[in-house]
Structure 1
């Protein structure tokens, strides 16, 4: 009876729990428990580190000490609660799994919050470092200071974290280290290894750097373009230099102003890493041949280096990472071919490089970076690099890749070519499709058929790609590998190249950016590609497509939806008549599928002479996220928002037009524009900040401002003074209120 009663109680609890969450927690309890254990491991590691700092009294007598003690008590409490939870889960009652799964899920959030509160305040720690720095010149202080810093280093326990920190010492003092670049090096060095994918490796790398930042052994920062960096505090770097002066031994002269490589006695046999980056070394003498049998890493990047003697690498048989990026090297020595342990050869922006010896023997090579290098052909023996995972050929000088090489590089995860370098640099779809481990790809395919072959084979989706068909010297947007944009660039497509049923192209389902240039046979997106499964498209740019009449068709055969679209740019479409075609008698539901354009934030139209109106009135409910309207040089544009055909026939109701997020309105070179909306007398845009109107002689009212009150956020109105004086106002005093915001143009 007790068992039956227990089951009954659990069943009642299940019924009271929402079915969706019940199933979610029931299925996910094992995964949630794994996550919780990982979070607890991190939390307890931070707890140990905090206790260690208190013991060595790095922060004696500070006011946060009491808060730290309370936090330690909270960690003890959560440990006890999770132990009880684990015991209850271990009893294995089937009907209690969903309830316990929900408890575990909540505990994950709770542990994350405790973890975030658990740093001995970062500013307190930085303050302590500043105090230590102020006393560093005292001869009696250096020993105790480094003892305490080394103690914090040892408390990391994880050797990979320690190696990561020491690796940062290879950079010059106060150097801002790009996080992504650093993680690439950590992968090269084997400090990050065992990951199934590059994405997992980068996640691991960021996790390691976050932990070092949380321990205040690294300082984080961010550029204006949101590029993240880390930097070593100079005291921490001094500690790292001291540690690497004996074991593991590093030779570090980064940013030291050297004009020559260090003397031979500095190249001891037990050196494992050497950094001479950011110096003024011009060449390496012919008699220089350091005996460094254990050397794994040599960084000579950012030097004016023009030549290296052939014997320089003779006694570096274990060399794994060689970085000659940003040098003026012209010819690599033949001895490079004998570095059979080399896993990374980095020649980024070696613009004067003309010769690379055969790479056939470098079978351990995993990363080859020739981006912006001066060579005009791919290196000999590249087809033998069967372990290569990273290949960057983003250079304008290489004209083609010989057929048959790519299928032999079956482990490639990262493959990048220059898009606008040469019309002859094109790739075959079937060769790319053979690269089953590929995660990042940027390159141009031969034609539509090769494009469709590759897209069809993308069963395991790429995490990052730019696929181009056709050649155009102009690219609308520079997109780089670390920016996770999934982009398709279509240029000069013709029907003779191939057809996919009624569509030309098979677009990837997860494409985010679509750019179409000079595709004159395309009348609308609906006959270019099926949009049914394209659910993540964020930006669409269409230019110089003479055949395009509408972006979408209202016909029943076009079921595409642009509900995820955030930015739409149309340029130089000489026959474009509107966004969506409409026929007399068609209902508004057919004219615009539900939620279409519901995410649209920006629309820009330039040099489309046949467009008479932009939006239809029925679309307003779907345009509530619109922030920017930019219309230029559309000679026949009469109004921005038009009535449907039924409303054109009659109707006198005053309609309120509301665009709550609109911030920027630009109307330039629209000689026929008479109104924003002919049937809307009340227009509201409370977020409007900037209005710019130029060469719109028939427009007699400024949209959204001829009301009381005016938009509270309005900052500027850019117009010609003569046109301003000719405007008509429903509320005359509004003109006086707005005039201080006007910036009058003097010249036409």
Structure 2
């Protein structure tokens, strides 16, 4: 229990050095009920940043009462993360309360002993590195036995490297991977010299960077190194979507592309990701995301800043507090990345409220002390890269940026995503060096004619806007354009002139000889036919949202043959369709399709070529979403080899989800759902059974069941790899069980949906 009242001396603070990454047995032995683990993101005093479901609109979450929300949540929670600077615990929302009377302590983790002193810790614990034997074993495992045994001198040289790394697991793993292809003693001696000359005797942060830099130096091309450094432009602990990362590399010109090859230009990016994962410079998060270890990220920023931590060439700001408190020399900044940034900056020294819902109240009071100021000041004239992704946008501030965009003459990369924009940045025509422009998830209604003057543009993304006006003659002038995203736009357009609009737009696409990736939505079958007339059809994302009534929708083989090397995402939304036809032969194979959404209220059946199985036509499908009222089962999904996520929503006639089917493809018996990790079932009111015991889920980790009141049993004979069952408590209690031991085993995995929400 904690209280708003209290003083610092009431609450014990325990310091913990994080120079050695990762938990140890020492922390496991700490008395868990007497500790709080402090997580650094709490320093923003912003409840939305915490992994809880706070009602930010409630009175108890208003300024001055936020401590009460934290008190209730933190009573049973613990956090751990690294601390970078001195923190006033009261200001960050950690009330210093009853303290020793309840034997509560705050544990901070940091890489700096100095921070322990500044925070007034009562006791400091240093996490020691691995002993030599375990360190050598970990290092050799990452180098690989073949390399270690490739020369009689290498085992002894490996011991010298391990000694220099001081038992730091992260360095042992990362440097070990970088040495895995070094089979000559001279290469090992060079690495040892580099480590010895790092110039530092203690295991401090900069020595770690010098050690880890060996792995960076082992990347064999400058472009590969540049790709790695760009990953640091996302905030700490941020999961980076692979496609977004690749698009960033494309926009910066870091990928080696074969312009004559019309196949998927994203493939070189995936190859780079594989190389960085292999070098332990990135970590995989599921199948679609990667992240950087925070120490690796710090090392990357250190390199990007010329091995000078105080250099401001690269700036990454995550949240309002960093913008307010960090003294940035904007005249030195070349790359700026602002993510999850509340775009309102206070003036006249007044403190900004920490609950975003309070902003409107202050502004409506007519206070002249709250004014938007430029997100990036005018003296940042060296900027080459700007990315802003906002969670709580304020047009007064973002407008100050877009109205002054012409003062950044060297800008080559501009991304303003979810920034509440209603128009293009003004003066865009003066950005003659601009190659990458992404304005996704805004309210832009028209494209300016002046865009045609940005002739070096290679990447243009306008997806998820309300664009109803795209001037004639703009696209043909963008002759360098390789990626064009018009996905899910035109929602605000009228019917008048729409047919002509799409006709000339598709005709103008013919002029883009270098176009290798197109994302587009089509609203009439005629538009689809016009698209088929293009000889070069590099469609990556296609949204068919037909407004007219039709009973049968065919995805013709003639179309599939043109897009099968590129099509990555397909969304079909035609409410009246009763039958969906996927081609007529094996040429209908969509070999690179990973995302498929089918939203058809009247759909009753999906028809496949008679001699080809769905798993042969969709070998790479990862994500499948259904919203089909009349569909009766989806058994055709059983053998999809790459399917990882399956979601069904509002399929109101399904009684049994999957029926056993005969042999498929080659005729051999295949395991069902070999790769399925996540199954989500929502609003299936008639579903009584998911499947019988013959259908298995060998890889399933999470199942969500919501508003399926007639469900009688779960299809599991054992826990398997299952980690989470999200289900209403009422539905869980009514399930029938043949094995009570299995019920008890699964009970610990249940997460009540109502409590979660």
TM-score by length of structure 1 reads 0.50
Q: For the pair shown, which has the larger CA radius of gyration, 1 or 2?
A: 1
